[in-house]
Amino acid sequence: MALSPRYVLRETGQNLWRNVLSSAAAIITIGVSLWLFGGFFLFNYAVDNATARWEGGIEFVVWMQPDATAEQDANIRDSIDTSPAIKEWIYVDQSQTYEEFREIFADTPELIEVVSPDVLPPSYRVVPENPDADVVAELSDQFVGRPGVEEVVSADQTIRDIQRLADKVTRVFLVGSVILLTAATLLILTNIVSAIRSRGAEIEIMKVVGATNWFIRVPFMLEGLVQAVLGAMGAWVGLRVLDDTVIKGLSEPDSLQLMQGFRVDQGEFYSTSLLVLGIAIVVSGIGSAVAVTRYLDV
């Protein structure tokens, strides 16, 4: 026998209203924990974007002039390739640089429109054998001012410090969100158990007249789901504020040079939002499932 949507919505609404204070507590806890969880991902994305070119042990980048000759390019390549102090290197040509440019400025299509691959510099991204700052500085200096070289940029200590700080911050976000999500799961469970107890007489009647187990359980489970989805919606608002104020604020033109790549793409924001919703559904599913299987004897 099919569940009547009208019946399910009415019963779920009544359950939520009867426990309005504890429902609000659950929604707020879920919202804050999901905000922390989503913040962990947004912060990670932003740090990754800011330090993308320094990942994989890359310590300095030799930017070539866009119009460097093949001979100048071959000289630099030969120096890098034969240096015993260099462990490995990657050549990023103009079209790959253009792809990176498009990713970085995805939010400003007007800028992408006026830039073409031929005006962007190719680069050599170098992983030295020894990542010590002095060794890296000495090695990178060998390429400064050579024909065809536009600029040599090193990953200085500040970037490494930022990566370490970001690691710590995101870890705090993650641990905090896991603790709060556990609390949120328990709150959902408690709310549903309380709703089950306050509706003991109705449940008894339902069992006697032949309501199926799922007919009895679904409104309670939906109650947990509604709390979780409302919490997720609150978290979305919080994440939008986090992105618009903190993350975008750090990457303002007048902020530190190395923070200017600190940003979150729309795609990354939406995938984080979906993940937050998914976690909300899982949390409510666990809380509801334990409540209706352990405390609802049907």
Binding site for another protein (CB under 8 A): 1-4, 6-7, 201-202, 204-213, 215-216
Token digits for 177?
């969100």
* Residue from 186, 196, 210 nearest 11 by CA: 196
Output the smallest distance, CB 35 to another protein, in A: 37
User: Whole-angstrom Cα distance, residue 174 to residue 60?
Assistant: 31
DSSP 151-207: EEEE--HHHHHHHHHHHHHHHHHHHHHHHHHHHHHHHHHHHHHHHHHHTHHHHHHHH
Selection from 231, 262, 187 nearest residue 38 by Cα: 231
Contact 166, 47 (CB under 8 A): yes
Cβ distance to another protein smaller for residue 7 or 270: 7
CB-side neighbour CA atoms (13 Å) of 271: 8
Indicate the residue among 200 and 253 with the shorter CB distance to another protein.
Answer: 200
Closest to another protein by CB, 124 vs 215, is 215
CB atoms within 10 A of CB 284: 28
Nearer to another protein by Cβ, of 1 and 70: the residue is: 1
Taking the least distance from each CB to another protein, the nearer of 78 and 204 is: 204
In the complex, the smallest distance separating the C-beta of residue 293 from another protein, rounded to whole angstroms, is: 13
Nearest distance, CB of residue 229 and another protein, angstroms:
25
Q: Which DSSP state fits 273?
A: H
CB of 52 to another protein, least distance (A): 55
Instruction: Name the residue nearer to another protein (CB basis): 126 or 296.
Output: 296
Closer CB to another protein, residue 8 or residue 169?
A: 8
245 or 293, CB closer to another protein?
293
Tell the smallest beta-carbon distance from residue 7 to another protein (Å): 5
CB of 207 vs another protein, minimal distance in Å: 7
**C-alpha to C-alpha distance for 191 and 224, rounded to whole angstroms:** 8
Could you tell me the two tokens for 137? 């500085």
Output the smallest distance, CB 211 to another protein, in A.
Answer: 4
Q: How far is the CB of 4 from another protein (least distance, A)?
A: 6
Distance (Å, rounded) from C-alpha 165 to C-alpha 171? 10
Q: How far is CA 69 from CA 72, 103, 110, 151, in A?
A: 5, 28, 30, 16
Cα 111 to Cα 105: distance, rounded to the nearest angstrom? 7
